[in-house]
Protein backbone atom coordinates (compact mmCIF):
# COMPACT_ATOMS: atom_id res chain seq x y z
CA UNK A 1 0.00 0.00 0.00
CA UNK A 2 1.49 3.34 -0.96
CA UNK A 3 2.27 5.73 1.87
CA UNK A 4 -0.19 8.56 2.16
CA UNK A 5 1.45 11.90 2.79
CA UNK A 6 0.25 14.61 5.10
CA UNK A 7 -2.61 14.39 7.56
CA UNK A 8 -4.88 12.40 5.22
CA UNK A 9 -6.00 9.26 7.02
CA UNK A 10 -6.85 5.93 5.43
CA UNK A 11 -10.59 5.30 5.22
CA UNK A 12 -11.25 2.16 7.21
CA UNK A 13 -14.19 -0.18 7.83
CA UNK A 14 -14.50 -2.32 10.95
CA UNK A 15 -16.47 -5.57 10.80
CA UNK A 16 -18.00 -6.86 14.04
CA UNK A 17 -20.40 -9.54 15.31
CA UNK A 18 -20.43 -8.95 19.06
CA UNK A 19 -19.82 -6.62 21.99
CA UNK A 20 -17.51 -4.27 20.13
CA UNK A 21 -14.83 -3.58 22.74
CA UNK A 22 -12.12 -3.72 20.05
CA UNK A 23 -14.27 -1.50 17.82
CA UNK A 24 -14.59 1.07 20.63
CA UNK A 25 -10.83 0.87 21.19
CA UNK A 26 -10.08 1.31 17.46
CA UNK A 27 -12.42 4.31 17.24
CA UNK A 28 -10.61 5.99 20.15
CA UNK A 29 -7.25 5.16 18.56
CA UNK A 30 -8.40 6.52 15.16
CA UNK A 31 -9.13 9.88 16.79
CA UNK A 32 -5.52 10.27 17.98
CA UNK A 33 -3.04 12.33 16.01
CA UNK A 34 -0.67 9.39 15.39
CA UNK A 35 -3.38 7.13 13.96
CA UNK A 36 -3.07 6.48 10.20
CA UNK A 37 -6.74 5.43 9.95
CA UNK A 38 -10.16 7.03 10.12
CA UNK A 39 -13.11 4.73 10.76
CA UNK A 40 -15.74 5.56 8.18
CA UNK A 41 -17.96 2.49 8.39
CA UNK A 42 -18.97 -0.32 10.75
CA UNK A 43 -20.46 -3.50 9.28
CA UNK A 44 -22.04 -6.27 11.32
CA UNK A 45 -23.58 -9.58 10.28
CA UNK A 46 -26.25 -9.20 12.98
CA UNK A 47 -27.78 -6.71 15.43
CA UNK A 48 -24.63 -6.67 17.53
CA UNK A 49 -24.27 -4.82 20.81
CA UNK A 50 -21.11 -3.18 19.43
CA UNK A 51 -23.14 -1.16 16.92
CA UNK A 52 -23.88 1.26 19.77
CA UNK A 53 -20.31 2.56 19.36
CA UNK A 54 -21.05 3.45 15.74
CA UNK A 55 -24.08 5.40 16.99
CA UNK A 56 -22.14 7.01 19.84
CA UNK A 57 -19.41 8.30 17.48
CA UNK A 58 -21.78 9.00 14.57
CA UNK A 59 -20.11 6.49 12.25
CA UNK A 60 -22.05 4.98 9.34
CA UNK A 61 -23.18 1.43 10.06
CA UNK A 62 -24.73 -1.43 8.13
CA UNK A 63 -26.15 -4.78 9.18
CA UNK A 64 -25.68 -7.32 6.41
CA UNK A 65 -27.21 -10.78 6.56
CA UNK A 66 -24.57 -13.40 5.74
CA UNK A 67 -26.94 -16.36 5.22
CA UNK A 68 -25.85 -16.31 1.58
CA UNK A 69 -22.13 -15.47 1.74
CA UNK A 70 -21.77 -14.57 -1.95
CA UNK A 71 -24.67 -12.10 -1.90
CA UNK A 72 -23.49 -10.63 1.42
CA UNK A 73 -19.91 -10.20 0.20
CA UNK A 74 -21.06 -8.54 -3.03
CA UNK A 75 -23.24 -6.18 -1.00
CA UNK A 76 -20.26 -5.38 1.25
CA UNK A 77 -17.95 -4.78 -1.72
CA UNK A 78 -20.45 -2.36 -3.25
CA UNK A 79 -20.75 -0.37 -0.02
CA UNK A 80 -16.98 -0.40 0.60
CA UNK A 81 -16.29 0.80 -2.96
CA UNK A 82 -18.94 3.51 -2.75
CA UNK A 83 -17.43 4.82 0.50
CA UNK A 84 -13.89 4.49 -0.89
CA UNK A 85 -12.76 2.20 1.96
CA UNK A 86 -9.10 1.22 1.63
CA UNK A 87 -8.50 -0.81 4.79
CA UNK A 88 -10.54 -3.32 6.82
CA UNK A 89 -10.20 -4.35 10.46
CA UNK A 90 -12.06 -7.39 11.70
CA UNK A 91 -12.92 -7.15 15.39
CA UNK A 92 -14.79 -10.22 16.53
CA UNK A 93 -16.37 -10.74 13.12
CA UNK A 94 -17.66 -14.32 13.08
CA UNK A 95 -17.50 -14.98 9.36
CA UNK A 96 -14.80 -16.19 6.97
CA UNK A 97 -14.36 -14.21 3.76
CA UNK A 98 -13.92 -15.92 0.39
CA UNK A 99 -10.78 -15.51 -1.71
CA UNK A 100 -12.91 -13.50 -4.11
CA UNK A 101 -13.66 -10.90 -1.42
CA UNK A 102 -10.11 -10.86 -0.04
CA UNK A 103 -8.46 -10.28 -3.44
CA UNK A 104 -10.23 -6.90 -3.57
CA UNK A 105 -8.25 -5.85 -0.48
CA UNK A 106 -4.89 -7.57 -0.87
CA UNK A 107 -2.91 -7.25 2.38
CA UNK A 108 -5.45 -4.68 3.57
CA UNK A 109 -7.71 -6.84 5.77
CA UNK A 110 -6.45 -7.64 9.25
CA UNK A 111 -7.96 -9.46 12.22
CA UNK A 112 -7.36 -9.76 15.93
CA UNK A 113 -7.60 -13.22 17.47
CA UNK A 114 -7.66 -14.12 21.19
CA UNK A 115 -4.91 -16.75 21.19
CA UNK A 116 -1.21 -17.01 20.49
CA UNK A 117 -1.52 -18.37 16.94
CA UNK A 118 -1.01 -20.88 15.42
CA UNK A 119 -2.43 -22.43 18.62
CA UNK A 120 -6.20 -22.37 19.11
CA UNK A 121 -7.68 -21.05 15.90
CA UNK A 122 -11.43 -20.50 15.94
CA UNK A 123 -13.69 -20.21 18.98
CA UNK A 124 -13.44 -20.85 22.75
CA UNK A 125 -9.70 -20.20 22.80
CA UNK A 126 -9.42 -19.56 26.56
CA UNK A 127 -11.45 -22.65 27.46
CA UNK A 128 -9.22 -24.82 25.27
CA UNK A 129 -5.98 -23.28 26.59
CA UNK A 130 -7.09 -23.88 30.20
CA UNK A 131 -8.28 -27.42 29.45
CA UNK A 132 -4.88 -28.25 27.98
CA UNK A 133 -3.10 -26.73 31.00
CA UNK A 134 -1.16 -24.24 28.88
CA UNK A 135 1.36 -21.95 30.61
CA UNK A 136 0.31 -19.00 28.46
CA UNK A 137 -2.21 -17.82 25.92
CA UNK A 138 -2.28 -14.44 24.21
CA UNK A 139 -3.51 -12.53 21.23
CA UNK A 140 -2.49 -12.16 17.60
CA UNK A 141 -3.08 -9.61 14.85
CA UNK A 142 -2.79 -11.23 11.44
CA UNK A 143 -3.62 -10.69 7.78
CA UNK A 144 -6.90 -12.28 6.71
CA UNK A 145 -6.98 -15.18 4.30
CA UNK A 146 -9.85 -17.49 3.29
CA UNK A 147 -8.53 -20.03 5.84
CA UNK A 148 -9.60 -19.52 9.45
CA UNK A 149 -7.02 -17.57 11.51
CA UNK A 150 -4.21 -18.62 9.16
CA UNK A 151 -2.87 -15.41 7.60
CA UNK A 152 0.64 -14.04 8.16
CA UNK A 153 1.16 -12.77 11.69
CA UNK A 154 1.72 -9.02 12.15
CA UNK A 155 2.10 -8.84 15.94
CA UNK A 156 1.53 -11.12 18.94
CA UNK A 157 1.50 -10.79 22.71
CA UNK A 158 1.78 -13.62 25.24
CA UNK A 159 -0.42 -13.65 28.33
CA UNK A 160 0.64 -15.75 31.32
CA UNK A 161 -1.90 -18.23 32.64
CA UNK A 162 -1.82 -18.27 36.44
CA UNK A 163 -2.61 -21.22 38.72
CA UNK A 164 -6.21 -20.30 39.56
CA UNK A 165 -7.04 -18.83 36.16
CA UNK A 166 -10.66 -18.96 34.98
CA UNK A 167 -12.03 -18.43 31.50
CA UNK A 168 -13.34 -15.01 32.60
CA UNK A 169 -10.08 -13.85 34.17
CA UNK A 170 -8.04 -15.05 31.19
CA UNK A 171 -10.41 -13.40 28.70
CA UNK A 172 -10.08 -10.11 30.64
CA UNK A 173 -6.27 -10.28 30.54
CA UNK A 174 -6.29 -11.07 26.82
CA UNK A 175 -8.74 -8.29 25.85
CA UNK A 176 -6.60 -5.78 27.75
CA UNK A 177 -3.61 -6.80 25.63
CA UNK A 178 -5.71 -6.83 22.44
CA UNK A 179 -6.53 -3.17 23.02
CA UNK A 180 -2.80 -2.33 22.96
CA UNK A 181 -1.82 -4.79 20.23
CA UNK A 182 -4.38 -3.84 17.55
CA UNK A 183 -3.35 -0.14 17.29
CA UNK A 184 0.35 -1.17 17.43
CA UNK A 185 -0.18 -3.58 14.52
CA UNK A 186 -1.98 -0.88 12.49
CA UNK A 187 0.90 1.54 13.11
CA UNK A 188 3.41 -1.15 12.14
CA UNK A 189 1.88 -1.87 8.74
CA UNK A 190 0.54 1.56 7.76
CA UNK A 191 3.32 3.89 8.90
d(CA 148, CA 169) in angstroms, rounded, equals 25
Residues 3-52 have pLDDT tens digits of 544 568 999 999 999 999 999 999 999 999 999 999 999 999 999 999 99
- Percent of residues, the chain, with pLDDT higher than 90: 95
**Residue 12 CA neighbour count, 13 Å, CB half:** 25
d(CA 43, CA 22) in angstroms, rounded, equals 14
Task: Identify the CA nearest to 26 among candidates 87, 114, 117, 78.
Answer: 87
179 annotated active-site: no
Query: What local confidence, expressed as pLDDT, does residue 191 receive?
Result: 87
Active-site residue identified among 113, 142, 157, 179 = 113
Q: Name the more confident of 136 and 191.
A: 136
Residues 115-146 have pLDDT tens digits of 999 999 999 999 999 999 999 999 999 999 99
Amino acid sequence: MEKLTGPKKIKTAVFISGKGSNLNNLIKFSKTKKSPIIIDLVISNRKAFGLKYADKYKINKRIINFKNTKIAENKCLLILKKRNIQFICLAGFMRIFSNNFIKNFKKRIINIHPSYLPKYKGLNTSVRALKNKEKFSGCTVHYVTAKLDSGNIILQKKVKITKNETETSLDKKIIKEEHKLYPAAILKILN
